[in-house]
Structure 1
Amino acid sequence: MGLLCQRCLELLQDIVSFAKRLSSRIVEQIKECIMLVRECCCMKPKGFKVRQLYEPVIQNHEKQAAQEFLNHMETGLGERQLSKETLDALRILAFSENADLQQSAALYYLHMSQHMTAKLPPEFLEPYQALLQSSDLEVQQMSSLSLVNFLLEGYLNKELVVQVGLLEPVLELLESGDSAVQCNSCACIMMLAVSESNREAIGTAGGIRPLLTLAKSYDPRVQQNAVGAILNLTRSENIKNILCSQGALPVLTLLLQSADSDIQFYSCASLSNIATNTDHHKDMLEIGDKFLLRMLVSLMSSSVQKVSSQACLCLNNLASNAEVRDHLQTLDVIPLLLSLLIANSKDVRQASITLLCTMTHPPANMDAVLCKELLTHLVVLMQTERTNPVVVVHAACTIQNLSQSENIEVIIQSQCFDELLQALLNPNNEEEPLQFVASCLAELTKYDITREYLIQRKDKGLIRCLVKLAGQVEHKELSFHAAFVIKQLSHSEKISSELKLLIKDVQHYLMCFLGHPELRFQQLSISTLCTLSEDPEFSKAISQSRLKEQLEQLRQQTEDTQALLRLAISQTESVDSTE
């Protein structure tokens, strides 16, 4: 510091003279105020630790607690490890001003977290408040690590940790200058964020911004845990909005280039979760002029299976937009997807068929040549994963997406069509995959070539299966699509003869359809009855069943409705003419 100028010296002399005129009490108050200001944390640089010139005096009760604690440590972690005496000692040591005593308490918690096989009682969380806020770095490191261990093993209730007020000190540790403390505190947040209520609490307490800062850390452990915490936070719609507003999208997008596969996976999965909300798509795609799409396509070829599958799933969420699908076509994503259909990893196969299903959504530019190539690869997957509901559902959807008039013959001649029929007959398939298979067949049977193929097969098992599924009216969509296929085939004598053997089951589902509240079911039932009634045996059976009464009742209701409509129209017309 340089010498004071004459003017400043005069001012200081004036202050001294003024102070001398004040009472001694006021002077003492000024001294106390200055001392408090000097001791405030705002006067210290971040990460600066004041070197104490004295050791805090150990109080008698602290000495006694420390001695008892040492004696207890010598006996090992037996039944007394969670006793009231242990808790009392931990409280005293944790809230001591002596760093060595605090370290003893933190070390004990760390030891417990590594050897315990039971839940930590809630009352043992109280000393953590002091340990996490300790000014001693070793205490911070050990206490935060033990908290991570307890959470990781499931020995702590995650909601309770937040409820007792430990979230705030953990968030404060995110801004520590020590990478080990940062790493541990990020891991704590990552595990706490598994709970929905905790996610909201973390967002409210301002935990988003420091996590985004640490996601750019040069320490890969810190970076990995920070991005892992962000991933868990993206499971909340509200927190996703906060993340986007605070600049998470560019950070996560750049992290896709990380050399660490875990960081790639976490950031990719985070972006995938955010992309489930189409409101964020515009901002995601504006980063570097669709740079995100190029990075995700590149990651599809990753040798790390979880990264490859997650890239497909993220692209699938973004590809709900037709413009995105067109852009992906220019990046030659289809050939890459076809190669992934036969990958060694089940997750990769599932993710690739999911994206392929979205990419073939009309109006996709799929000519017969590309369609044939696609079906050639798809059949291998269908044969490998016959009982996998994800594969069955998306394979059926993909084939249905391809069912344009120019592709029907290619589809029918492919083995994929036979796999569809096998999927319908497979007793291991549940309602959802059966529904999508039946929907695909219903779409295909709108074409003559498909109907002729199925009639020539005269597959008795298929007809029985369709009738059975049509009768499962509690599964509305599955029942309707199965009945639709029957209707499409029922004009053939070959199929009609098989239906005669199942006439009671056919009458049952037609009866249910006639009484169904949805008009499409009634119309399908009536049109099927009209076709079947062309056969004398069917006509006779229908006339002798309750179907005839139901039809008459429906006819009467229709006539009554028409009469009311005519009346309403005539009254409206008379009012118009009066005006």
Structure 2
Amino acid sequence: MASSLCANCSRLLREFAANLRNICRKFEQKVRDIFRELCECTCLRITPERSILRRRTQVSQSLHLLYEDDSRLLSQDGLRAVGRLSASENTDLQMTAAVYYLHVSHRLKSHLPDDYMEPVMALLLSTDLNVQKTISLALVNLLAKNNVCKDLVIDMGMLVPILELFQSGDAAAQCHSCACVAMLASSESNRDVIMVDGIIPLLALAKSYEPQLQLNATWALLHLTQSDWSARLLCEAGAIPVLVLLLQSSDSEVQFCSCSALRNIADVQEHHPRLLSIGGHYLLKSLLTLMSSSVQKNSAQACRCLQALSKNVVIQEQLMELDCVLPLKTLLKTSTAAFTEPAVTLLSALSAHPPNNDVLVGEGLLDEIGQLLHHQRSSTAIITHSCVIITNLCSSCVGQQAVMESRCLSGLLQALRSPALSDDTMLHLASCLHHLMTWDLLRSKLSTAITAEQVSGLVKLSGQIKNPPLSFNCAAIVSKLQMTDEIAGMLRPHYVTMSQYLLLFLKKEDVKFQQLGIVTIFTLKTDGDFSSLLVDSELELQLRKMHLQTEETRRLLQMIHPL
């Protein structure tokens, strides 16, 4: 076919094609030269090692894709990938696996399958400290959220590399591993294993100047003091001086953990000589200082520790010498029962030792107890120990006068109306009131202060035959009330109820109950209404029966009297 182009256009097209071929040859030569230089560089040489690394990088990239989808966190593909990465000798790939576990530890809301624990062991054994730090932090998170079984961690032998991290010299690695040990030690079944190689390193780390590391080590020591056997080993290894020094820490959490550990140790009296072996009453002084802390949980815990130590009379005497009453009275004024209870418990223990009583009365303790009983926040424990303190301190004339001048009596009567008191607490309350009524002055004041509602409550409790001690003490209080017109008016509505429990008292084999019944009837007969009720009643018949039995007993005794 003939060309439709003119001669000039044909010429121009031929020149363009020739120039294009020339440009392409030059470009091809330049590209060939660039690729030749690139191939000569080791970066792009294709070797078997490079091929393996490329495949591992692909695995790593696929693992990172799982981060975006929580539902795929624990897939079989993920398990295979993390298994290959953790088994690699390349620390970058190991770090990828460790970071994956760290991600899982933050996002996981369920139990981590046991199969996933094998790679964790491999990563803990890594030669790279950064990998070990990352995986130990992940393990801390998993243990804290109970995503893994503590016993399984021990059974797999992970404790060995965890403890080895103590010697790493890296504060972060030590901190993470120490936190792991603390959480593992919270399981009683693991403590024996940890004690074998962990005591000395933990004591060393507890003296660290790194605050978080010191806290984690003290936390672990606290868990280890929760069993008698491990606490004994800790004492033998020299833990007590370390824990006592930690009471002076600037970190309030360290103070709390060390104080709690010392309290656990103090619960076993055989450890008291070691606790007191530090000269100058250093432990007691430190605890008293901590008791004045602005951190209330620390002051309460110091008080509990002192209460455990106060079972020892020698320690009680030393506490009194160190003027422990003032900070204890301060704690009684706190607004939270959880902090008041330890103080009143310790004061209860101190009041049980008679030589302390004059000092306690002189310090105005009964005034504070009276105020405490009037507060609505008074718990069962506060009421119980307040009753013990009042009973102990009113054993002297000075104590009786202090009770008279304080609000203790009205506080005890008010406590009678406290809702849902246990029988044990009510027994302490009734026993204390009964004890106070053995003194004429206190009896007169209590008879004047008692209300109709409180009398009704005492009568009701007197009929609790299933609880003989409570029934006896409440009935004894009623029997000792001075039979004024006002008291008689309060008792009249309850004469029928009282006759019923008095009849049961007279029928009991226990002479103590019989005597109380007779004394009560004698007191009530001063009121004509009760005398009328008594005539020809079953209660009067029982009294006559007892009289005949007594006469028979007297006659028989007279028979043997010449002997």
- TM-score with structure 1 setting the length: 0.77
Alpha-carbon distance in structure 1 between the residues aligned to 2:188 and 2:476 = 44
Inter-CA distance 67–209: structure 2 relative to 1 (3 Å threshold)? same
Residue among 278, 287, 311 paired with 1:296:
287
In 2 relative to 1, CA 511–158 (structure 1 residues): closer, same or farther, beyond 3 Å? Answer: farther
Deviation (angstroms), 1:143: 0.8
1:532 maps to what in 2? Answer: 521
C-alpha displacement at 1:552, in angstroms? 6.5
Q: Are the structure 2 counterparts of residues 405 and 171 from structure 1 closer, same or farther at C-alpha, using a change threshold of 3 Å?
A: same
Within a 5 Å distance, the mapping from 1:66-215 to structure 2 comes to 67-75=58-66, 76-203=68-195, 205-215=196-206
Q: Does 1:229 align with 2:220?
A: yes
Find 2:461's aligned residue among 444, 464, 469.
469
Counterpart-to-counterpart distance in 1, 2:488 and 2:359: 34
Is residue 385–residue 391 contact of structure 1 (8 Å, CA) maintained in 2? no
Report which stretch shifted further, 205-214 or 413-422: 205-214
* CA drift at 1:547: 9.7
Say whether residues 1:260 and 2:227 are aligned partners.
no
Q: Secondary structure at the match of 1:82?
A: coil
Q: Is the 8 A contact 1:233 1:239 kept in 2?
A: yes
Equivalent-residue separation in structure 2 for 1:195 and 1:292 (angstroms): 29
How far, CA to CA, are the matches of 2:377 and 2:306 in structure 1? 25
Once residues 446 and 340 of structure 2 are traced to their aligned partners in structure 1, the CA distance between those partners, rounded to angstroms, is: 30
**Contact persistence 2:259–2:302 (CA under 8 A):** yes
Larger radius of gyration: 2
The one-letter code sitting in structure 2 at the alignment partner of 1:91 is G
Which residue of structure 2 aligns with residue 375 of structure 1?
Answer: 366
Give the paired residue count: 505
SS at match of 1:120: coil
- TM-fit CA distance, 1:339: 2.6
Distance 1:355 1:67, change over 3 A: same
In the TM superposition, what whole-angstrom CA distance separates every residue of 1:43-94 from its partner, at most 9, and x where no partner exists?
xxxxxxxxxxxxxx97988865652442242241321111122122222222
Cα distance between partner residues in 2 of 1:299 and 1:372: 21
What does the per-residue CA deviation read over 1:94-146, in whole Å, with 9 as the maximum and x for residues that have no partner? 23333222211111011111223333233322222212222210111011111
Counterpart Cα distance in 2 of 1:201 and 1:507: 66
8 A Cα contact 2:178 2:216, kept in partner: yes
Verify the 8 A CA contact 1:189 1:229 in the aligned structure 2.
yes
Secondary structure of 1:271's partner?
Answer: helix
Alignment of 1:336-485 (within 5 A): 336-343=327-334, 346-367=337-358, 370-371=361-362, 373-406=364-397, 407-457=399-449, 459-475=451-467, 477-485=469-477
Q: Using the alignment, how far apart are the partners of 1:512 and 1:84 within structure 2? A: 76
State which of 306, 311, 326 in structure 2 corresponds to 1:315. Answer: 306
Q: Which residue of 1 aligns with 2:34?
A: none
Counterpart secondary structure, 1:501: helix
CA deviation vs aligned residue, 1:280-308 (integer Å, no higher than 9, x gap) = 11111111242211211222222222222
Whether the aligned pair in 2 keeps the contact of 1:514 and 1:551 (CA below 8 Å) is no
Q: Which runs of 5+ in 2 are unaligned?
A: 1-47
Change (3 A) 1:369 1:131: closer
| Identical residues among aligned pairs (%) | 38
- CA deviations on 1:400-429 (whole Å, 9 max, x unpaired) are 221223111320331122111101112253
AA of the residue aligned to 1:304 = V
Report the CA distance shift for 1:478/1:64 in structure 2 as closer, same or farther (over 3 A). farther
Partner deviation per Cα, 1:534-574 (whole Å, 9 max, x = no partner): 628667659744896799699989x99xx9xx99xxxxx9x
1:122 alignment partner AA: D
Quote how far apart the aligned CAs of 1:273 are: 1.3
Letter in structure 2 aligned against 1:107: V
Distance in structure 1 (CA, Å) of the matches to 2:489 and 2:370: 32
Q: Give CA-to-partner distance per residue, 1:20-45, whole Å, 9 cap, x none.
A: xxxxxxxxxxxxxxxxxxxxxxxxxx
What residue ranges of structure 1 are gaps of 5+ in the alignment? 1-56, 568-572, 574-579
Residues in 2 aligned to 1:154 and 1:510: alpha-carbon distance in whole angstroms:
60
Distance 1:155 1:556, change over 3 A: farther
Distance (Å, rounded) in 2 between the aligned partners of 1:444 and 1:236? 42
- With over 3 angstroms needed to count, the CA separation of the structure-2 counterparts of 1:292 and 1:502, relative to structure 1, is same
Distance 2:109 2:240 in 1: 40
Matched residue of 2:416: which SS?
Answer: helix
Aligned equivalents of 1:147, 1:554: Cα separation in 2: 81
Pick closer, same or farther for the CA change 1:206–1:489 going to 2, 3 Å. farther
- CA spacing shift, 1:159–1:168, aligned 2, 3 Å: same
Q: For 1:88 and 1:319, how far apart are their aligned partners in 2?
A: 60
Cα distance, 1:306–1:369 mapped onto 2, change above 3 Å: closer
**Mapping for residues 275-294 of structure 1, pairs under 5 Å:** 275-294=266-285
> Is contact 2:351-2:392 (8 Å) kept?
yes
Q: Compute the TM-score of the two structures, normalised by the length of structure 2.
A: 0.79
Q: Which moved more, 1:66-75 or 1:400-409?
A: 66-75
Alpha-carbon shift at residue 228 of structure 1 (Å) = 0.9
| Mapped partners of 1:512, 1:232: distance in 2 | 53
- The answer to whether the 8 A contact 2:373-2:415 is kept is no
Cα distance in 2 for partners of 1:473, 1:171 equals 61
